Amino acid sequence: MVSEPRACKAVMIAAPSSGHGKTTVTAALARHAKNAGRRVRCFKVGPDFLDPMILERASGAPVYQLDLWMVGEAGCRALLYDAAGEADLIIVEGVMGLFDGKPSSADLAATFGLPVVAVIDATAMAQTFGAIAHGLATYRDAVKVVGVIGNRSGGERHTATLVEGCGAVPFLGALPREKEQAIPSRHLGLLQADEIADLDARLDRAAASLDEAGIALPETTVIFTPCEVPPAPTALMGRAIAVAKDAAFSFVYRANLDLLQSMGATLTSFSPLTDPLPDADGYYLPGGYPELHLDALAHAPWRDGIRAAVERGTPVVAECGGMLSLLDSLTDADGARASMAGVVPGHGVMQKRLVNLGLHAVDLPGGAMRGHTFHHSTLETPLAPVAASTSVRPGGKGEGVYRVNRLTATYLHFYFPSNPEATAQLFAPNIERNHHA
């Protein structure tokens, strides 16, 4: 039976570059719709973990990543189609500038017919605001900019100059400079949602500011067509996988967890900061902020358990911060050094600047896996990588994949649905051990 197309109100929130306030505006729109009793689903373009945490809180619904390369057009289409079946409104937050990157937010908007509302930081700007709006609206015919929002306006007189410059591009309104609704950040991006004690108050204040500014989204209906995704293999049926989840380990794609469950795994969560290692058939240690919790990790009760699990050949996948927590030691950006779990020989050192980022692919025993890297640390290890990733960006630096028995450790954040078979092999039992320690 062929599924019918689904119609749903939808919009993409984009900007000329990072830093214009896309996430705050997207979250405000989502919370406003939720407070009005609408069912809203948010998505985030690109490989991002922090913005989706904020958008999940704002919308009260799960948030997934959309990326034409990492997720694939078929995967994106399936996610949007599913959302259209349950939502009154779909809001997609773009990444970087509207036309930045390959693939870009504009590519996604053009592929799925998503209308675009541009958010432009109006700080220290007058009529030039309109020139930027005009450029975004006319740069590419297949991308339909249906309105523009001025962010961080200095008041009524300032807003009047913004309107004056926009011409034929619909000006939807201007939001004031208000610290009470801004979302704080650190070196990897926004703070995690659970770290912001007054987040709900900030979101409600941001939602209310839309009414005060008279901002309403253009109600554009988009037709979403179905895409049949092959069923995942059931290679993990009956397997118990424990997933690290706390303030130090939180960078995980929701789609990764969904896939593990669809392959038959039972997932439980634990905190390496406070909990002993639970009994499980496999462990998933995603990225996060281990460098902010050096003392707790240096004395964490899970250390003996994870060393024993790796020694007996239990499958473990450790990504970025998860890998750093398994090293002999980790040094933070201020020079403080602490011992880690001592499973992976080597040392990590946090840097003041970004070390590597971008979309990557890597060949694993089960096939090619896609994902991304984004880190501020360097690694020194005597281990030889068993594989190295390839960056989508020309000239990009690859990342090593390291093995210790059934532990797979890397800076890469894998997107498991890009290759379910390879994912199954990472966690499945009875794979020949590779000893490199």
Of the listed 42, 76, 166, 320, which one is catalytic? 320
Question: Is 320 designated active site?
Answer: yes
CA dist 62 and 48 (Å) reads 14
CA dist 95 and 20 (Å) reads 11
User: Concatenated DSSP letters for 78-109?
Assistant: HHHHHHHTT-SEEEEE--SSTT-SSS-HHHHH
Closest Cα partner for 11 from 49, 226, 25? 25
Containing 318, the helix (H) or strand (E) segment is: strand 316-319
How many whole angstroms from its chain centre is CA 301? Answer: 29
Closest Cα partner for 149 from 10, 12, 42? 12
DSSP summary character for residue 181: T
**Is-contact 377 340, C-beta < 8 A?**
no
User: Concatenated DSSP letters for 349-403?
Assistant: EE-SS--EEEEEEEEETTEEEEEEEEESEEEE-SPPPSEE-EESSTTPPP-EEEE
432 class by beta-carbon count within 10 Å (0-12 exposed, 13-18 middle, 19+ buried): exposed
CA dist 181 and 178 (Å) reads 6
**Is-contact 382 341, C-beta < 8 A?**
no
CA atoms within 13 A on the CB side of 347: 10
Active site residues: 320
